[in-house]
Amino acid sequence: MKHWIERIAEELNERDVKEHVIASGTSISGSIHIGNSCDVFIANAVGKALRKLGASARTIWIADDHDPLRKVPYPLPESYEKYLGLPYSKIPCPEGCCANFVEHFEKPFLDTMDDFKIELEVESGEQMYKDGVYDDYIRISLEKAPEIREIFNKFREHPLGEDWLPYNPICEECGRVNTTYAYDYDGDIVSYRCQCGHDGTMDIKTGEGKLTWRVEWAARWKIFGTTCEPFGKDHAASGGSYDVSKIISKDIFNYEAPYPVPYEWITLNGESMSKSHGVFFTPGQWLEIAAPETLNYYLFRSKPMKAKDFNPAMPFLDFIEQYDRVERIYYGKEEPASEKEGEKSKKIYEASQIQVAETMPFQPSYRFMTVAYQVAGNNTEKIFNILKKNSQLPEDMERKEFSEIDKNDVERLEARITHVKNWLNTYAPEFVKFQVQKKIPRLELQDNQKEFLLKVADALEARDYTSQEFHDALYVIIEEMDMKPQKAFQAIYKAIIGKKQGPRAASFVVSLDKDMVIKRFRMED
């Protein structure tokens, strides 16, 4: 069984190419999120797989920073509507912290690449135009405008005008690029008119203009020698950008289009990600609540065109448990449900790892640590001891004291503590959160609930328990008293956190200071 990334790499490796160039690109129209950055993650993974096969491969990322602003991205004010139509590169930084609009949204994304160990050759669309990289391709496109127009018209309901040229100058009057219409040229001088009423000319060598997108994309493939490119499903639609650019690439620029890897959009809580509406989740936000490998796993566990919905609230805990299970299967610490699941899990795990460790990394339960953290705070040693009390450690670690555990294990525990803390503070629903009350809460307990708590206090005073032993002891008392479990557990939660519900009662109580719990259950302040 092969992972889909491996299959792509093998197909590419069969081609007669000296060096593979896997291209990715992103429009800098606002925050770069886990949806529109799939290009980068897929491109990086394909490049790694090619190099593993012994092929030469480089990965590039083009910032489409010369495109026009079409919508004001969240959280910019409405005043930014005055920049609609201007190239991103011409718009000022919204907070005055960066050189311009582009750097403001590009920098946070590129800063995360180190965490994912992704090495990219970063290119700027604007700089390519300024440096004259596109000049010869603009000249060819102007000369062959009738042929390009004919290609476009095959896919259009309304044909382009006979004087249409595949180039958009930036209007020298209003500064917009999406409102101009180039209709004539003489050498490098292009004549255009703009919707603002201006009629003018511009020299292509100034870089103050751009090829229309589908022509630009085709030109870019030849410029970089692109052999593979991932892109969103909108470009892959029948008659869409890839279909048109593929023909332009071959017929106009004499270059075979790269191997396409289209992918489905990622939704957020069922909603389409939108920079203008503030519905997005960035790689940086992901790194606040989980390790980088888990995002790779999220992206690579299913084929690229399979729909994906991300929910950072409670479903995220299930997702992390799935990742941890796949890790255990990979290292032989858990049996898969079938041989097929085992093979598939191992391939997905390998694809998601920045570097596969020889032995299984320490894996403290994320879900359990949401409880441990709320009991012990940032105290790593206390959390370790809570894990130990609740049999949440590997066998070899169960016998050790905190001071004896390996430095790498401490770092992994501390990293997960940070992730859990951030998740609790930002995404956890209220019913997950609790706080151990310093004083006895105002209780409304029935007589049998009070009696139950007294019996539990006596049981705790008699001996020490593991969480499983205490769970069994609770049910012995519940059955002896002929109580409903729900009423019994409500009494525990009310006495400790002042709520009717909380984390699993046995492991929760065992995680707390024993003397405090005994006093609380006996109503001794």
CA neighbours closer than 13 Å in the CB half-sphere of residue 176:
18
Which two structure tokens, joined as six digits, stand for 28? 């800098």
Please provide the size of the chain in residues. Answer: 525
- The single residue listed with the structure tokens 């020889």 is 358
Edge-to-edge order in the sheet of strand 20-27: 121-124, 57-64, 20-27, 228-232, 259-263
Distance CA 381, CA 476 (A): 32
Question: In 447-478, which positions are buried (b, 16+ CB within 10 angstroms) versus exposed (e)?
Answer: eebeebbebbbebbeeeebebeebbebbeebb
254: phi > 0 → left, psi -120 to 50 → alpha, else beta; which? left
Amino acid, single-letter form, for residue 59: T
Q: How far is CA 380 from the centre of its chain?
A: 27
HEC readout, 306-330: CCEEECCCHHHHHHHHHHHHHHHHH
Bond prior to 283 in cis (omega within 30° of 0): no
**How large is the C-alpha radius of gyration of the chain?**
30
Bond prior to 75 in cis (omega within 30° of 0): yes
Smallest Cα–Cα separation from 319: which of 372, 281, 355? 281
Amino acid, single-letter form, for residue 357: A
User: Are the CB atoms for 172 and 189 separated by under 8 Å?
Assistant: no
- The single residue listed with the structure tokens 């100058």 is 169
Which two structure tokens, joined as six digits, stand for 34? 């886990």
Q: Which helix (H) or strand (E) holds 64?
A: strand 57-64
Q: Taking CA 143 as the corner, what is the angle to CA 139 and CA 147, rounded to the nearest 5 degrees?
A: 125
**DSSP assignment letter at 228:** E
Distance CA 279, CA 383 (A): 35
400 is in an annotated binding site: no
Q: Which residues partner with 63 through β-bridges?
A: 26, 124
Distance CA 306, CA 140 (A): 39
Torsional sign, CA 479, 485, 487, 491: positive
Which two structure tokens, joined as six digits, stand for 386? 């809570």
Phi, psi of 483 (to 5 degrees): -100, 155
Which residues carry a binding-site annotation for ATP? 275
Which residues carry a binding-site annotation? 275
